[in-house]
Amino acid sequence: MSERYLFRGNHAIAEGAMRAGCRFFAGYPITPQNEIPEYFSARMPDYGGVFLQTESEIAAINMLFGASAAGVRAMTTSSSPGISLMQEGISYSCGADLPMVIANVVRGGPGLGNIAPAQSDYFQATRGGGHGDYRTPVLAPNSVQEMFEFPKLAFELAERYRTPVIILADGLLGQMIEPLEYTFDPVDPKTLPKKDYILDGCKGRERRVIRSYDLRPGYLEKLNFERIKKYQKIEAEEVRYETDHLDDAEFVIIAYGTCSRVAKAAVRLARNNGVKMGLLRPITLWPFPKKMIEELTGKTRLFIVVEMSMGQMIEDVELVVKGKAPVRLIPHPGGGIPTAREIWERFQQFREEL
């Protein structure tokens, strides 16, 4: 086993981002993600990048727009209320097709809510969040190791498709501490492919314009049809998920992030009791693993969706299952975290009612 270090999730995401070549961070403090900007502020000078604590989240996201237009790997992080404030800037960035990474360490809502772990920003993250026809890829880590690795994946997706990418974590993933292994060498941004759309001085070439509007009749519609092709390609090629004991599963839990860890413990509990339970863990929440759920629908007696929200991801599941199998929800809104024992007990009730 190579060297491992104890790392807090929030520190891991910052370290992972800088190692992935992030050279611009702007953000505004909010619990439970304050250790992220703290870590960036301490380490970014070593990487020769820019760290800025901005006057607001709105300023931060708009600075990302500028940094990305200049070609830099740029990132911001916040927690739920702060991410709401950023929606305008995210929509503009999607309209301008600018790559960037936005991490949301979700806390209880709505409103100021509380600072406990939650998953209630699922709709916001997977449906676009701001105004206009757009989607953003959403990655949902479930360990400190993935908090470290996902910024790199997010930057790669962001640049491949010229789109903002969301990392959807939660307060538990931000605060928990686990061993971390440096699984990739630091990326030198100078070695990345040249971008042919950035604003880096037009001497000797035609000028470029980056903007999110087009007032000429018919042009925006055409542009949006083009952008939809990009989203279709993402849906076809970038679905990621993890499975656990699905081969012979009669009962399938679908859960992401923190809930997928608890669900894994519930699957162990069920298997120890002779029950054929399995787990499907979406890693990309958009694109959603529809095909996998479709395949499971024919052979699954019962789907159980576990989420720290009041029934959000379950809508995506039901859109695929289309009533062909029972789907039940174990929700925890407002900062509650499920336990394996609770999932096991609720499952037994569900099974009796079948």
Partner 1 sequence: MTNEIIIAGFGGQGIISAGMIIAQAGMSEGRYVTFFPSYGAEMRGGTANCSVVVSDEEVASPVVDRPDTLMVMNEPSLIRFEPRVKENGILFFNQTLIKSRPKRKDIKIYPVEANLIAEELGSGRIANMVMLGAFAAVTKTVDLDSLKAAQRVIFKKADEKMHRLNDQALERGYKLING
Interface segment toward partner 1; rule CB under 8 A; list 89-97, 151-159, 176-184, 245-253: 176-184
3-state secondary structure of 99: coil
CB of 137 to partner 1, least distance (A): 26
Asked whether the beta carbons of 257 and 141 are under 8 A apart, the reply is: yes
Q: Which of 83, 96, 115, 305 binds partner 1 (CB under 8 A)?
A: 115
Candidate ranges 62-70, 199-207, 260-268, 321-329; the one touching partner 1 (CB under 8 A)? 260-268
Q: Answer yes or no whether residue 45 interacts with partner 1 by CB under 8 A.
A: no
* Distance of closest approach, residue 210 Cβ to partner 1, in angstroms: 40
Contact criterion met (CB below 8 Å) for 101 and 22: yes
If one asks whether residue 283 binds partner 1 (CB under 8 A), the answer comes out as no
Enumerate residues 180-239 that contact partner 1 by CB under 8 A.
none
Q: Which of 179, 232, 273, 301 touches partner 1 (CB under 8 A)?
A: 179
Among 1, 202, 209, 354, binds partner 1 (CB under 8 A): 1
Contact 49, 188 (CB under 8 A): no
Q: Which of residues 18-37 bind partner 1 (CB under 8 A)?
A: 31-32
The stretch near partner 1 (CB under 8 A) out of 19-27, 193-201, 212-220, 338-346 is 338-346
CB 210 within 8 A of CB 98: yes
Rank residues 96 and 263 by Cβ distance to partner 1 and give the closer one: 263
Tokens found for residue 209 = 């314009």
Q: How far is the CB of 127 from partner 1 (least distance, A)?
A: 28
Options 112, 177, 223, 228; binder of partner 1; rule CB under 8 A = 177
Site mask for partner 1 (CB under 8 A), range 144-173, x = bound: ---------------------------xx-
Q: Does 6 bind partner 1 (CB under 8 A)?
A: yes
Give dist(CA 281, CA 199) in Å, integer.
39
**3-state class of 74 per DSSP?**
strand
Per DSSP, the residues of 111-129 read TT--SSB--TTHHHHHS-S
Question: C-alpha 147: how far from its chain's center?
Answer: 10
Cβ-based nearer residue to partner 1, 180 or 329: 180
State yes or no: residue 337 binds partner 1 (CB under 8 A): yes
Q: What is the CB neighbour count within 10 angstroms for residue 194? A: 7
Put residue 342 in one of left, alpha, beta given phi > 0 → left and psi -120 to 50 → alpha. Answer: alpha
Among 50, 238, 340, 350, binds partner 1 (CB under 8 A): 340
Burial-class residue 20 by CB neighbours within 10 Å (0-12, 13-18, 19+): buried
Contact status: 339 vs partner 1 (CB under 8 A): yes
Beta strands in 70-134 (DSSP E): 74-78, 100-106
Q: Does residue 116 bind partner 1 (CB under 8 A)?
A: yes
Report the nearest approach of partner 1 to the CB of residue 10 (Å): 11
In 3D space, the residue among 337, 349, 351, 340 whose CA is nearest the CA of residue 268 turns out to be 340
DSSP state letter for 190: G
In the complex, least distance from residue 11 CB atom to partner 1, rounded to whole angstroms: 13
d(CA 348, CA 76): 42
- Taking the complex as a whole, how short is the minimal distance between the CB of residue 347 and partner 1, in angstroms? 15
Least distance (Å) between residue 176 CB and partner 1: 5
Is residue 11 near partner 1 by the rule CB under 8 A?
A: no
Which strands make up the sheet holding 284-286, listed edge to edge?
Answer: 50-53, 24-27, 74-78, 100-106, 164-170, 138-139, 284-286
Residue of the chain from 222, 233, 324, 341 that contacts partner 1 (CB under 8 A): 341
Tokens read off for 338 = 């499920």
Contact positions vs partner 1 (CB under 8 A): 1, 4, 6, 31-32, 114-116, 171-172, 175-179, 258, 261-262, 264-265, 267-268, 337-342
